[in-house]
Amino acid sequence: MLDVISLTKKFGANTAVDGATFKVDRPLMLGIIGRSGAGKSTLLRMLNRLTEANSGQVLFQGRDVLALQGRDKRGWQSDCAMIFQQFNLVPRMDVVSNVLHGTLGRRSTLATMFNLFPRDDIERAIAILDRLGIAEHAPKRAEALSGGQQQRVAIARALMQDPKIILADEPIASLDPMNAQTVMEALRRINQEDGRMVIANLHTLDTARRYCDRIIGMRDGRIVFDGNPSQLTTGVARDIYGADADFSEAATSTSIDAIGRSDAADAVIRVAQAAI
Ligand SMILES: Nc1ncnc2c1ncn2[C@@H]1O[C@H](COP(=O)(O)OP(=O)(O)OP(=O)(O)O)[C@@H](O)[C@H]1O
Ligand SMILES: [Mg+2]
């Protein structure tokens, strides 16, 4: 399915990613761990062509991803939606419009300028927000939401693209444990229920062990571990993080705040339509 072969990126004399090779043959949830500077973000960014590799190959369903140009490249970038630590929402814009921006790739410039969204898209956006438990926030400005809610808005925006892969770069690094758990559970559900591959850079071992089917460990640009959570022993972790690292921290609490799901989607659609 996804075949990464000797992928390498240099910044001057510094090799950020050094011959990364791995193969994913089903849409699993893959965690990437490693110390700061290990090359995790650079690896993700090369997969969706935000950063161009110096050498190596990325094949997805047999297609040579790094060779794609123009429309094909943009098509690939919408097939592998990216989620960031800082959410990258438009803070003063309402939630549903932020989500609808996930469809920008296929809308005309004029429609974009006037913020005109087809009713079908609005309904789909609301349905996605509802699935993520935040439909009642649809008319609010993004900045009025908690971090965990904002990250779910970013996930909803990604889902509007109907991606085959979700690339998440430290999606919970700015969140408290409870919000972190909600976001990780949302990603896990999307992975299991929709069959979308999720590749997430994670800074805590606990989270990777708990949510991922497979974990890749990076050190100094190289992949030094590739296996399932049970193989990720303390000794292996020490090898990935270095002996002096604090890799045993608890990542998340175990309590989940049950966030009420809104059945008021119709009302929200009316509000959203009135706004455009
Ligand atoms: N745009 C850039 N220009 C120059 N060097 C860069 C650039 N981006 C990353 N690097 C360097 O490449 C290496 C890998 O960085 P990267 O951001 O991929 O690490 P990371 O594992 O994501 O770290 P963190 O956990 O801090 O996010 C680092 O040495 C970093 O300084
Ligand atoms: Mg990073």
Q: Are 45 and 51 in contact (CB under 8 A)?
A: yes
Residue owning the nearest CA to atom 4 of ligand 1:
11
Distances (CA, A) of 84 to 41, 71, 72, 166, 263: 10, 24, 23, 11, 29
Report how far ligand 1's centroid is from the alpha carbon of 170 (Å): 13
Report how far ligand 2's centroid is from the alpha carbon of 229 (Å): 21
Report how far ligand 1's centroid is from the alpha carbon of 19 (Å): 16
Nearest ligand 1 atom to alpha carbon 9 = 12
Confidence of residue 267 (pLDDT cuts 50, 70, 90): very low
Amino acid at 37: G
Distance, C-alpha 142 to centroid of its chain? 18
Q: Considering the chain, what is the average pLDDT of its residues?
A: 86
The boundaries of the domain holding residue 230 are: 2-275
| CATH code: domain of residue 140 | 3.40.50.300
Question: Given ligand 1 and candidates 41, 199, 220, which is best to mutate, with the most ligand atoms within 8 Å of its CB?
Answer: 41
Residue owning the nearest CA to atom 24 of ligand 1:
36
The per-residue pLDDT for 105 is 61
Report how far ligand 1's centroid is from the alpha carbon of 151 (Å): 23
Only one residue has tokens 């990250």, namely 151
The per-residue pLDDT for 13 is 94
Euclidean distance between CA atoms 156 and 96, whole angstroms:
9
Question: Given ligand 1 and candidates 7, 14, 52, which is best to mutate, with the most ligand atoms within 8 Å of its CB?
Answer: 14
pLDDT tens digits for 47-97? 999 999 999 999 999 899 999 999 999 999 999 999 999 999 999 999 999
Pocket-forming residues, ligand 1, beta carbon under 6 Å: 11, 14, 16, 34, 36-42
> DSSP class of residue 66?
G
Question: Given ligand 1 and candidates 8, 10, 15, 40, which is best to mutate, with the most ligand atoms within 8 Å of its CB?
Answer: 40
Structure tokens at 224: 């030094």
The two counts, helices (H) then strands (E), for the chain are 10, 10
Structure tokens at 229: 């959570």
What are residue 142's phi and psi, to 5 degrees? -55, -40
User: How many structural domains comprise the chain?
Assistant: 1
Q: Which ligand is nearest to the CA of 218?
A: 1
Q: Are 130 and 138 in contact (CB under 8 A)?
A: no
Statement: residue 248 has pLDDT above 80: no
As a residue count, the chain comes to: 276
Q: Are 247 and 43 in contact (CB under 8 A)?
A: no
Q: Which of 27-41, 70-84, 257-271 has the lowest mean pLDDT?
A: 257-271
Check residues 11 and 272 and name the one with the higher pLDDT. Answer: 11
Residue owning the nearest CA to atom 31 of ligand 1:
37
Nearest ligand 1 atom to alpha carbon 17 = 14
pLDDT tens digits for 196-245? 999 999 988 889 999 999 999 999 999 999 999 999 988 899 989 886 65
pLDDT tens digits for 173-184? 999 999 999 999
Question: Given ligand 1 and candidates 7, 9, 10, 11, which is best to mutate, with the most ligand atoms within 8 Å of its CB?
Answer: 11
Structure tokens at 174: 């700015």
Statement: residue 250 has pLDDT above 70: no
The per-residue pLDDT for 103 is 78
Locate all alpha helices (DSSP H) within the chain, ordered by sequence: 40-47, 70-79, 95-100, 109-113, 119-131, 147-160, 177-194, 205-211, 234-241, 265-275
Confidence of residue 107 (pLDDT cuts 50, 70, 90): low
Q: Which ligand is nearest to the CA of 33?
A: 1
Structure tokens at 75: 């098509």
DSSP assignments along 91-152, one per residue:
TTSBHHHHHHGGGGGGS-HHHHHTT---HHHHHHHHHHHHHTT-GGGTTSBGGGS-HHHHHH
Report how far ligand 2's centroid is from the alpha carbon of 273 (Å): 38
The per-residue pLDDT for 120 is 87
